[in-house]
Amino acid sequence: MPCEVAARFLILYGSQHGQAQSIAEEICQQAAEHGFTADISCLSNQHKYNVDHEIRPVVFVVSTTGDGDPPDTAQKFVRKIKNKSLAHDHFSHLRYALLALGDTNYANFCNGGKTIDSRLQQLGAKHFYATGHADDGTGLEVVVDPWIEGLWDALKKMFSNCTQDNYHKNASGQEKNKSDLEVDLHLLKLSEVDSQKGKTITSDSSDVETLFTALVASLKQSVPPLSESVLNVPALPASYLEVHLEQGSTERVSISKAVQCTQDDAVKTAILLELDISEQNIAYQPGDAFDILCPNRASEVEELLLRLDLQTQKNCAVQVNLLKNSTAKVPLHIPQNGSLQFILTWCLEIRSAPKKAFVRALADFTQNGSEKRRLLELCSKEGSADYNSFVRDANVCLLDLLRAFPSCLPPLSLLFEHLPKLQPRAYSAASSSLQHPGKVNFVFNVVEFPARPEHPARTGLCTGWLADHVSSILPRPSSTFHLPADLSIPVVMVGPGTGVAPFIGFLEQREKEREANQEATFGETWLFFGCRHKDKDFLFREELERFAHNGTLSHLIVCFSRDEPDAAGTVNSPTYVQHNLRLHAKNVASILLKDKGCLYVCGDGKNMAKDVNDTLLEIIGNKLQIDILDAMKIVAGLREEKRYLQDIWS
């Protein structure tokens, strides 16, 4: 493989909702700090790169969408490399690393990245760094952060080998495989002289005494042995932005109806919103989702401005420039000349849990010694357990840290460098445009985070705000989660709780189709619904009973998991949707295996979707008298044929 003299590499990303792009841009920005020059491109922009002849190392960052598919922006690239006419050594010149993003709550974990990775290997490409598989179900940063840290050493070894002997041909004339390179974190020891301050950083005796008085660790303080440890902390991220404030939008839709679907004493509050989209000329099908962009809470933005002593400058225009000699890029989600209040409200995710690099940078702007020590503990290798417990798992945000550490006063540029882009949230349409022309319905549970020592009680950013307002929406058409075009194909729908939302759209659509095609043959429709209490949170009860009464819905199968025993002393059984699936196993198996029907599952991906999948394996195994491995192959075939479809979330 030829070698460029400059330490230059290429970053290619495939992103569906912006996470892979954000991580790729972060790698690009960090590259200069480590002595590299990085070029970056989306995989969809094939005119900007050519891996067929790429001599630079390539770093891929690829997400997964749908039923384990590569993101839309990577589809064309995947089709290209899957071309069966390509020679087995087509990519023998290519040296690459790949970071795959996925969610273990979904089937086919990281399959988008794995698809590209395995195909590149088949065509002769070689790893120069081990592939990373990041799980959004547990927190992407758990894998992403150390993977990026280790990438720099891997690249340095790559270029070092290239400079010395053109990658050291081995005895057989083949290039050495560097896939076993280890991930080594670049660390600084606090016991060493701090290069920024010119003095040793250690815990003084008064700090230790204070920590000993409280034997329970918290966000604000640690306990031994961490409080007495010498810390390994990440290197201070280099600043690359300067921000100037000078004296000097978003399309909205209106709410036409808002209804609380649950009783006041229900465990969760579900709200149905009907939005008027007639002026936006938005077309959608049942099963499609919409990206809804909600702003940060006005009260939180105001508190942040006050905390940073910028309240009087909130209407100033923001000018963002790169520091001199910086090779990074100004984040694309920060507009030039937007007001400070607008950027903090609409552009930056101020509710996101600060990554360790951000915590490390905040420590440098903290005056109190014990507060600075605690922030350094939280971002250190030794403090990983505390970081997970008191920051990531506790859903702590920047404001929570600023409340907990009052002597921390970061500059505005630091927030712009570290806060991620405010991302839209996706919600499935709970309506059919045939039934509601010019309107779209959504149903959602208001997410509530109870008060805890790290932060006050609060509602989820988007669901809490949706309960009062609605901002811009963008349709996110589903390529697969639609009713079959053939009206005679039977369908089984599994949607407990708010997971029933897209199926209301399905049934409204089918109702209109039945009215317009009275001579047509329609396949059976089964809906398995569940909730806690029949009288408190049975969503769309009247609509579902109407669909069942007029024949639109052939079978409505419901269960209530928390209802008390009835007057006869018997408990309503079964408890969950998977139990009802098991009771109707014969019908479900016949629909899927004999009638070539479709199974749709919508709702919680952490538990329900997994339980339904396990039940499906059991049903198919029993029906065909096969073992679990053979049943898994049948289920995989259903997914491949797009007859087993999921719209799930964690």
Domain ranges (residues) in the chain: 7-162, 254-297+424-476, 300-314+325-418, 491-648
Sorting pLDDT into bands at 50, 70 and 90, what band is 159? confident
Burial class (CB in 10 A: 0-12, 13-18, 19+), 336: exposed
β 458-459/270-276 pair status: unpaired
DSSP-assigned beta bridge partners for residue 95: 126
Report the CATH number of the 491-648 domain: 3.40.50.80
The C-alpha atoms of residue 624 and residue 626 are separated, in whole angstroms, by 6
pLDDT in tens, 360-381: 999 999 999 999 999 999 999 8
CA distances from 470 to 30, 268, 462, 538 (A): 36, 20, 9, 25
Structure tokens at 559: 């269960």
pLDDT in tens, 82-141: 999 999 999 999 999 999 998 876 778 899 999 999 999 999 999 999 999 998 877 788
Lowest mean pLDDT among 175-179, 236-240, 554-558, 617-621: 175-179
Query: What is the fold of 254-297+424-476?
Result: Elongation Factor Tu (Ef-tu); domain 3 (2.40.30)
Full-prediction pTM beyond 0.85? Answer: no
pLDDT in tens, 219-231: 999 998 999 899 9
The CATH superfamily label for domain 300-314+325-418 reads: NADPH-cytochrome p450 Reductase; Chain A, domain 3 (1.20.990.10)
Closest C-alpha to 100, from 25, 9, 14 = 14
Q: What is the DSSP letter of 592?
A: I
CA distances from 40 to 34, 49, 152, 601 (A): 16, 9, 16, 37
Domains 300-314+325-418 and 491-648 share a fold: no
H/E element holding 502?
A: helix 501-516
Query: What is the fold of 7-162?
Result: Rossmann fold (3.40.50)
pLDDT in tens, 282-333: 889 999 988 877 788 889 999 999 999 999 999 999 999 999 888 888 888 8
